[in-house]
Amino acid sequence: MTTRPRSTSLDVSRKRRRLLQEPYDPTSELTLEAYLHRADQFRSTTDDEPLPYPCHIEPENSDIRDIVLNCRSSIESIMTDHGHSADFALDVVNATKPGYPGGCEPRRYVRISYKKGPEPLPFSPAMDDVVRYLGSCGIQLDVEIVDLDYCFRPSLFPIPPEHPAVDVYESFHADLVKFLNSTMQQSWRMLSLFMVGRTFQAKAPAVTVFVEPKLRKDWNSVHNSIRQIISTHNLEGIEIDINILPGFLSTDIAASTESIQLCTTGRDMMHEMHPNGHPILGASIGVLGEDGGGTLGGLVSARVHGKWIPCALTNYHVIRPATDAPPYITAQANRIGSSARFQDETNSTVVYFTPSDVRKTRKRLER
């Protein structure tokens, strides 16, 4: 008995839809969200603009949930009549996706979810019958049927620097940035190489591009162009998938709980001070003009153009342009980063310690 490969890239989903002969025009110009949804055989929903996975799911806490759960036997009959298994989870849920446009407002719907279900059949016909049945019971809710093990639900993991895909990525990175700039101008938000998969065990290297939500393009053409750029440099045929996802970097999303605490209360830095004044691991740093910041990571040496220079590790959101920077500068830094080598407005002045921590430390010293 053979098992299906898990869905980590759109290549697999497109092939499955062709095999199932579902109506799908891959050359049409669509929003990215619509493209992702139409290419995903393993998720069907009546929501015209469903939140892209992954999203936050919580059970509904109301009488409507009990009413729907009492309909399980009839829903099982509908699913089995369409060739699907009766082994599914049934619930009424609220879905949110913080940081995504409209994602903070809960979307309530009936969810029928499978895990490791049978060989795929289109969910849409069964979904339509479930909607009609629930409507006959006076239940007017959106319905989603999803196979959680096989739907397009990517998780991003860091890729080890010694992975062979890293060298290939670095060889085509400049060409890919040029392509994105010419095709999407200011509408792409981030480009990087990740290990991508539904779980850590199922991960594979993938070029990942984040673009503005609701961006309309011929995504099949974009995908093929990126594949061509990769293949030109990938002479050894190393497996590298492609994922184009809706999203953007946000100060509110990127800032860690620790950083938020730094911004509001400050921390005593007495034990983070070195006699020679050099910053050490755990000290706070920030951007000139901001009250808070983040934590300094380890100190390392990096070789740049044959010269060794001392460096420090930290998260990008700590040294990104200040919140009062023009939006186009923040967007540019989000796309290509910020560096002391960049002689433009993305070049931030980093301070040590943050003003909020200086106040907290002085307050202790003045006791």
- Every domain of the chain and the residues it spans: 41-147, 155-248, 252-365
* pLDDT value of residue 248: 63
* pLDDT value of residue 22: 44
Q: Are 285 and 319 in contact (CB under 8 A)?
A: yes
CATH 3.30.300.20 fits 155-248, yes or no: yes
What is the percentage of the chain residues whose pLDDT exceeds 70?
81
Rounded Cα gap, residues 134 and 110, in angstroms? 10
pLDDT tens-digit readout, 233-279: 988 889 999 999 997 644 434 433 344 344 445 677 766 666 766 77
Q: Are 346 and 338 in contact (CB under 8 A)?
A: yes
pLDDT tens-digit readout, 19-59: 333 445 555 788 999 999 888 889 999 998 899 988 889 99
* pLDDT value of residue 314: 77
- Kindly state the average pLDDT of the residues 336-351: 74
- Kindly state the average pLDDT of the residues 90-100: 90
For tokens 């099982």, the residue is 76
* pLDDT value of residue 11: 42
Q: What is the mean pLDDT of the chain?
A: 80
Rounded Cα gap, residues 115 and 152, in angstroms? 13
Which residue has better confidence, 341 or 358? 358
Q: Are 292 and 360 in contact (CB under 8 A)?
A: no
pLDDT tens-digit readout, 105-122: 999 999 999 987 656 788
Enter the tokens of residue 218: 């011929």
For tokens 């069964």, the residue is 126
Phi first, then psi: give them for residue 195, nearest 5 degrees: -90, 125
Enter the tokens of residue 241: 């998938």
Residue 93 has pLDDT above 90, yes or no: yes
Print the SS3 string covering 122-166.
CCHHHHHHHHHHHHHCCCCCEEEEEECCCCCCCEEECCCCCCHHH
| Confidence category of residue 321, pLDDT binned at 50, 70, 90 | confident
Residue 14 has pLDDT above 50, yes or no: no
